[in-house]
Amino acid sequence: MELTTVNIPVLALRGLTVFPHMHLTFDVERTISIAALERAMEAEQEIFLVTQREISVELPGETDLYPIGTVSHIRQILRLSSGAARVMVEGRRRARLRRLWQSSPYLQANVEELPEEVPSETFHRSPRTEALLRQTWNLFSEYAQMSGNIPEEIITTVMDSRDVGYLADFIAQNIPLRHTDKQEILEELAPFVRLRKMNSLLARECNILGFEHEMEGKIRDQLVRTQREQILRTQIRVLQNELGEDDEDDEVEDYCRKILELKLEEEAESHLLKEAGKLSRQPYGSAEASVIRNYLDVCLEMPWNVETRERVSVDAARKVLEKEHFGLEKVKERILETIAVRQMNPKGKGQILCLVGPPGVGKTSIAISVAKALNRKLARLSLGGVRDEADIRGHRRTYIGSMPGRVIDAIIRGGSMNPLLLLDEIDKLGSDYRGDPASALLEVLDSEQNHAFRDHYMEIPVNLSRVMFITTANTTDTIPQPLLDRMEVIRLSSYTDEEKVQIARRYLLPKQMREHGLKKSALRVGDEVIRAIIRDYTRESGVRLLERRIAALCRKTDMKLLSGETKRVQVTEEELPKFLDCQPYPPALHTEREETGVVNGLAWTETGGEILEVEAAVLEGTGKLELTGNLGDVMKESVQAALSCLRSRAEVLGIEADFYKTKDIHVHFPEGAVPKDGPSAGIAVTTAMLSALTDRKVRAGIAMTGEVTIRGRVLAIGGLKEKTMAALRNGISTVLIPKDNVRDLEEIDQTVRAALRFIPVETIDQVFAAALTSPAEAVREEVPEPAPVFPSMSREKVDNALRQ
């Protein structure tokens, strides 16, 4: 059958759908739409009404319109004062949009009219059609009953209609559906299928209305219950007033009595009494009353007038610290000085100490021991990863679920106004859009301000001047300078091997044997075995890994005892691999004989000191300097400075003046996967390069550390304690150190000082004289070999000293 095609104006509808044989009135505001209506009226044409896909599109194109619409007749247009038009249309036939060929001044399109299917009389009388109609009538009746706003004439029309196609269109036109659902009905040409889809939409709408009525019923019941409870509570309150038994008044009086008993300062007392007065004016079950009760409860939980009796005794504190910690003499002495000041001036302000050191050296345990020695309550605040300022200063009471900050909470948990607050991991504070917690700590950790600290939740001043603060950190680099300035930094260095031996023998081994159910006689571990564990199985500043290795020995011992193999286990150094598997940290590689271009440097790491071997090779070339070994920028610049130092002294050192043009120099630091940085390998690099250039060997058993300048001066370095311990551990007998570091030798372990020969050097010439064999005569005459600070001991004496 040939389809009719016409060119007619187009009116794009937003959120509306017009069905055939239906009347619809709506307002038109867009200029192109009004122009299309006027054009259709002037030419006595019909108009094509089609729905937009997106309501927000102001100037729709062909892709913005649905393909199926309705060819309609304009019955009436009414001009409105606002410039819009109210139009009444009558839908006539379905049509398909073939091409939108005009978009200005109005939409004009070529549309193809779609024929209506006319069901036969047999179709109308079939049981299938009857069943579909009955289903439609039942669903629409249920929908009309649940909706409650369907006009009676619409219900009558639906119940009297037997034309399935018309019925589907009529229902879709007269009930509120999404325009996408109406468009789905409009685009369906088969009448039977169209009504079946309409039934599915009716069933869905009935379910939605059912859920809405259920929720409305629950809300209504809740309101009725709340109103009933309010009425009953009001009646009870009236009866209690008549009988003189007002519980709410008793509650407010109880709060007022507790506030007055605290004998707070005038500002805090008046503020809390004012809050109690607000509570008396609130309905019993109101949300505001609950907030005020929680606030008053928190304020009354504060130990306002409670202080623990402080045991300020230097001797008692020394006994506690010596009993629970080995070594750390400087740290103990500084803490005892703080306690001595407290003993001389009991009313002084609380101290703010910051313990800085690598992981596992005992920062937290020292703070716990200080609290025990002073008889103060301890409250620990872990600040690692804290990013919200409210964690420190609290939330304002206007927020739901607000609470005081961690400082106030710690004082409440401590139960006194003079606790010891341990702020752990203060260097790991974060910051984001919620504020900067480090800035919030500025007032807390300032002894000149914290006597009137105001928490956002409490809003009354709290005196923190009697609180003793101890903070811990792994490094001061990430602590903001204003916060660091408020604390006195006490640095904890890494333990020496001998300190680790004593800690393992006195504390770790007995502790692990108790935890593993071992008697003293069941496991024997000598000092040499502990030294081997420290040397070959741990690489750390503290003793945590060492404790885990000892725990592994205890576990193996439990297995041997339970299997009946033996009744007592004696661990020897040769049997360690059986207990702890292979060595994860084999002895460090270093030169033990005289070699050319190879020097033993000394490096500091977070896990202690290490031997850092420096290799230099001179090759024929064009003056390139090659650096390898995963070096940082500072170390690369240090090598450049060493080369410039050699160039400036080439004539004195007996080097060819143009060596930097004719020779390629390659400097390599072994263990290339390990990052290395810092200037302290300067003299080692310079010595290795001179050795390679002059073929003079480096003396065996010597190591060195120091920064070099391009003028040949040797500057001071850090980490001397750990570096010298690494030298002793690796069999070095002589160590070259900067002259400015001689004062640091007092902090070195006595065993190390006795076992090593220290040579202080001030210039690079002194380094060459002490480190290189067969020096040039000119150098020997100008710079005599410097005298050692401490003479070297024999290897037997060293071993005896280590065993003591």
Active centre residues (catalytic): 680, 723
787, HSE (Cβ side, Cα atoms, 13 Å): 2
3-state secondary structure of 286: coil
What string of DSSP letters covers 486-544? TSEEEE-PPPPHHHHHHHIIIIIHHHHHHHTT--TTTEEE-HHHHHHHHHHH---SSSH
Q: Quick one: tokens of 651?
A: 């004539």
Task: Count CB neighbours of 289 within 10 A.
Answer: 18
For residue 629, what is the DSSP state?
S
β-strand pairing of 378-382 with 420-424: parallel
Round to whole Å and give the CA distance between 674 and 677.
10
Q: Dihedral sign, CA of 474, 475, 480, 482? A: positive
- Residue 757 near residue 735 (C-beta atoms within 8 A): yes
Round to whole Å and give the CA distance between 735 and 750.
15
- Residue 789 near residue 745 (C-beta atoms within 8 A): yes
Task: Count CB neighbours of 209 within 10 A.
Answer: 16
For residue 382, what is the DSSP state?
E
For residue 311, what is the DSSP state?
-
Q: Dihedral sign, CA of 523, 527, 530, 536? A: negative
- Residue 545 near residue 503 (C-beta atoms within 8 A): no
Instruction: Name, in order, each residue with C-beta under 8 angstroms of 458's C-beta and a sequence gap of 6 or more.
Output: 298, 299, 302, 394, 404, 408
Backbone angles phi, psi at 454, to 5 degrees: -115, 115
Closest CA to 177 of 151, 153, 147, 156: 147
3-state secondary structure 738-766: EHHHHHHHHHCCHHHHHHCEEEEECEHHH
Instruction: Name, in order, each residue with C-beta under 8 angstroms of 252's C-beta and a sequence gap of 6 or more.
Output: 276, 277, 279, 280
For residue 793, what is the DSSP state?
P
β-strand pairing of 47-51 with 68-79: antiparallel
Count of residues making up the chain: 804
Residues paired with residue 26 on neighbouring β-strands, in sequence order: 87
Round to whole Å and give the CA distance between 70 and 22.
10
Q: Quick one: tokens of 635?
A: 């170390």
Taking each helix axis from N to C end, the angle separating 152-160 and 127-147, rounded to the nearest 10 degrees, works out to 170
Q: Quick one: tokens of 539?
A: 């690489």
3-state secondary structure of 735: strand
357 exposure class (CB count in 10 Å sphere: 0-12, 13-18, 19+): buried
- Residue 759 near residue 786 (C-beta atoms within 8 A): yes
β-strand pairing of 707-708 with 714-715: antiparallel
Backbone angles phi, psi at 2, to 5 degrees: -80, 135
Instruction: State how far the alpha carbon of 84 is from the alpha carbons of 32, 75, 91, 575, in Å.
Output: 12, 17, 21, 99
Taking each helix axis from N to C end, the angle separating 329-344 and 314-324, rounded to the nearest 10 degrees, works out to 160
Closest CA to 724 of 526, 501, 493, 508: 493
| Sheet containing 734-738, strands listed edge to edge, beginning at the edge strand earlier in sequence | 625-628, 663-668, 608-620, 598-605, 702-704, 734-738, 757-761
